[in-house]
Every structure is written in C-alpha cells, then in structure tokens.
A and B are shown apart, each in its own frame.
Chain A
Amino acid sequence: AQSVAQPEDQVNVAEGNPLTVKCTYSVSGNPYLFWYVQYPNRGLQFLLKYITGDNLVKGSYGFEAEFNKSQTSFHLKKPSALVSDSALYFCAVRDIRGGSQGNLIFGKGTKLSVKP
C-alpha cells in the first residue's frame, strides 16, 4: 500500500536558520512524491515534485526537497527560513490503486512555525 508519514506534528525554526520538514514513504513501484503548503484559511498549494531524475528537486518560494531511496525519505528543506514560511506542510504520494490518474495520498501535515 502507498503511504507517507510525517513524523513531526510541528517544527519550530528561527528566522534565517535552515529548515527541514521530514517525510518518509512506503510505495509499490517507483515513487511519485510531492510537497504541498497550506497557509491559514487557504487551500493547499503545490510546492514541488519528484518523479524521476535528480535527487534534489527545487520548487516554489526557495524550497527544495531531497529524495533518498535508501532511507525512503523525501525531506523538504530551505536554507534560510522566513516568518512568512509559517504554514502547514503536507507530503503526498501518488495513489496507484484503481489505476486512476491524479489521486494523491497525503500525510497528516507538519506545522512549521518560524519565529523572528
């Protein structure tokens, strides 16, 4: 079965410091992995994806994620956090059940809090 786990409910970082939001996955076949962000009272927004190729993928707002096959992880990173990065972050994996395209399985989310 496809699944993702986000082991931290909350991550606290000081502005200017690097941030990491963790995600591990369990999939059958090749993983298609995604990060989404949700700002307060808003819908989710797509940040970045890994499907194939370079293990380091770059996305919106200066975020990047590192795909690690041996550790089955896809951690979200940013070299220097901003207060405006404070939001809820979701890791997701492609759902291959039923053969339907487009379906995602989301993790439970990690709340990122960046303090000035």
Chain B
Amino acid sequence: DAGITQSPRYKITETGRQVTLMCHQTWSHSYMFWYRQDLGHGLRLIYYSAAADITDKGEVPDGYVVSRSKTENFPLTLESATRSQTSVYFCASSDMGTPYEQYFGPGTRLTVT
C-alpha cells in the first residue's frame, strides 16, 4: 500500500539500550521529518532531511541519530535510550512542490524503563 509507515508501533526498552525507529514512504517525497510529541510540548522537530544523504538537526536533536541512504527510508536511532526519551515519535514526509503539507505516519509509542 502507498503511504508512510512506521515500525514498530509500540516499543518498550531499557535505559542505555540502542533503539532504532523505522520510517518508510512510498511517494518519493524529498523532505522527511522526525518529531516527538509530548504532553504540554506539542510536536517538536528532532531531525529533518531535504534529500537522500542530506540531514540536519531540528529543535531537539540531542541523543538521536538519523541517516538517509535511500529517499524512501529515514530511520531514527536512539544511541543510548534515557527515560526522558519516552514519547510518541512521528515521521512525516512532504513533496518539494508543497513542502509544508506534510504527511504523517501513524507514530511509534516508545517507553524507556
């Protein structure tokens, strides 16, 4: 099916472990984004990418790493998970022609114990 998918949808991990959240889109959109959603903070941008092999930091990048070797994939890695990274993570993508009309994935709920 076409669209933007995230996996896993739910993840529980322990403090200090490495975790990778996957994001895949089938539209060949140029732009991709990772957000975290926390109560009282709305959505905050972690990292974004304008194209394959081009990534940049957003508002809250500390503790996260991204890569984009292929246009359709944009994985987010928590190198050493902390409890403060417990959150709902959303991946989004947008087309170069309408860059601000973002399409969001269903989200990954991550709990760090």
Contacts and interface: CB of A to CB of B under 8 A. Distances in A.
Nearest to B48: A103
Nearest to B50: A100
A13 to B, nearest CB: 21
Interface residues of A, number: 24
B99 A102 contact: yes
Given A102-B50, A102-B94, A45 B104 contact: yes
Contacts, number: 63
User: Looking at chain B's contact residues, is the secondary structure mostly helix, strand, loop, or mixed?
Assistant: strand
Given A43-B104, A46-B101, A46-B102, A106 B42 contact: yes
**What class of interface size applies to chain B in its complex with A?**
20 to 34
B56 interface: yes
A98 B106 contact: no
Given A32-B100, A100-B56, A106 B43 contact: yes
A43 B100 contact: no
A94 B101 CA distance: 11
